[in-house]
Chain A
Amino acid sequence: MSSKAVFSTAVAAILGATMLITGPSFAASTPAPAPATTKPAAADRPVAKAPAETRAPRAVPIRTKPRFTG
């Protein structure tokens, strides 16, 4: 085997190994397939949203004579 043939074999082996290495890592970065969608159980289903509760505003005074016990 000539030195040229030895060199070619070594390069081919390294290239092959590199492809084998990068191949799986590239494949690993591919997003996994989405899980099969299933209908959620009744308990998991979103219920109708209650109306948002706001912060109560300050009281509006009424001009009149109080009749509290004092």
Chain B
Amino acid sequence: MHDHGRAVGLFCTALTIALLGSGCGSSAADQPESRLGTQPTAQLQISSTADPGRSRPAASRIATAQVAQVNIHRTPGGEVRSSLPNPTAIGAPLTFLVLESRPGWLRVQLPARPNGSSGWIAGSDVRLSTTQYRLVISMSRHQLDVMYEGRRIARHKVGVGKVATPTPKGTYYLTELIQPPDPDGAYGPYAFGLSAFSTSLKSFAGGPGQLGLHGTDAPHGLGHDVSHGCLRVANTVITHLADRLPLGTPVEIQ
């Protein structure tokens, strides 16, 4: 009887040790590991759900003046080389396309000659905003592509400068939107001003030779080299663009 009891006791002890061993193994080591193992998986699932796949291209940054005069500096905080009034001579808000930024300072493209010139302005002088719109003009194909979030959403015929008065290539931006008194006139119902200037005309019609993107009263000229440097589109197209585009929208002329 004693032997039987000892055998049962040994069995219980062995059982206890075995269960204890397996219990310690699963509780103390596996569980934290399994937690660490499952948590990143869950995070990955969440992040893959949040990112649908295609990443949006970076939006263009636009600086709109908030002061009566914006000083243009050669370097961040450096010498003032010029200043621009706000609003502009025709009453438009002074707008810049931001090229680069440093703490407290922005390098912007200037709406001035020479084409594509830039300078530094104080970040405190402007309000920043963004746009996903971008216009791309192919002069050889006489096409204007309207881009949004990096994708072409429309393509239109465009008239560009003649050989004697060419449209200068480069990246510029929309500086103002004008609604002419005569919607059936040479400029059509709307005319955007560009930050680009004619390289062959120092002045035109009392203005400084500034280029524009506008409608036309001669639609047969669309798709041809017909202008003094401006970009001409159909009146329906310029009306569509005027309803959507902000000042500061980049315009790439290729």
Interface residues of A (CB under 8 A from B): 1, 5-6, 9-10, 12-14, 16-18, 20-22, 24-25, 27-29, 51, 53-70
Contact assessment for A69 and B230 in the assembled complex, using a CB-CB cutoff below 8 Å: yes
B198-224, CB under 8 A of A: which get 1 and which 0? 100100111111111010000000000
Q: Are B179 and A70 in contact (CB under 8 A)?
A: no
Partner pick for A61 among B62, B190, B208, CB 8 A cutoff: B190
User: Is B82 interfacial (CB 8 A cutoff)?
Assistant: no
- Could you tell me if B246 and A58 are in contact, using CB atoms closer than 8 angstroms? yes
Give the total number of A-B pairs whose CB atoms are below 8 A apart. 159
Taking the nearest CB of chain A, how far is it from the CB of B89, in angstroms? Answer: 10
B68 contacts chain A at the CB level, 8 A cutoff: no
Mask: chain B, 5-29; 1 = CB below 8 Å from A; 0 = not: 1001100110110011011101110
Inter-chain contact A9/B9, CB cutoff 8 Å? yes
**CB<8 Å pairs between A and B, sample of 24:** A1-B1, A5-B5, A6-B8, A20-B16, A20-B20, A21-B20, A24-B27, A25-B31, A56-B246, A56-B248, A56-B249, A61-B178, A62-B176, A62-B178, A64-B90, A66-B193, A66-B207, A66-B212, A67-B205, A67-B206, A69-B198, A69-B205, A69-B207, A70-B227
CA of A62 to CA of B192 in the docked complex: distance in angstroms?
10
Kindly identify, within residues 68 to 97 of chain B, every residue whose CB is under 8 Å from any CB belonging to chain A. 90-92
Shortest Cβ distance from residue A3 to the other chain B in the assembled complex, whole angstroms:
10
* Cα distance, A1 to B247, chains bound together (Å): 99
Instruction: Point out the residues of chain A lying under 8 angstroms from B230, CB to CB.
Output: 68-70
Are B27 and A27 touching (Cβ within 8 A)?
yes
Kindly state the separation between the CA atoms of A58 and B177 in the bound complex, as whole angstroms.
Answer: 10
Are B229 and A28 in contact (CB-based, < 8 A)? Answer: no
Residue of chain A at shortest CB distance from B212? A68
Pair B27/A28 contact, Cβ less than 8 Å: yes
CA distance in complex: A53, B31 (Å): 45
Q: Write out the residue numbers on chain A whose beta carbons fall within 8 Å of the beta carbon of B13.
A: 13
- Interface stretch, picked from B46-54, B110-118, B125-133, is B125-133
A contact residues around B177 at 8 Å (CB)? 59-62
Inter-chain contact A55/B210, CB cutoff 8 Å: no
Are A16 and B2 in contact, with the CB atoms below 8 A?
A: no
- In the assembled complex, which residues on chain A have CB atoms less than 8 Å from the CB atom of B229? 69
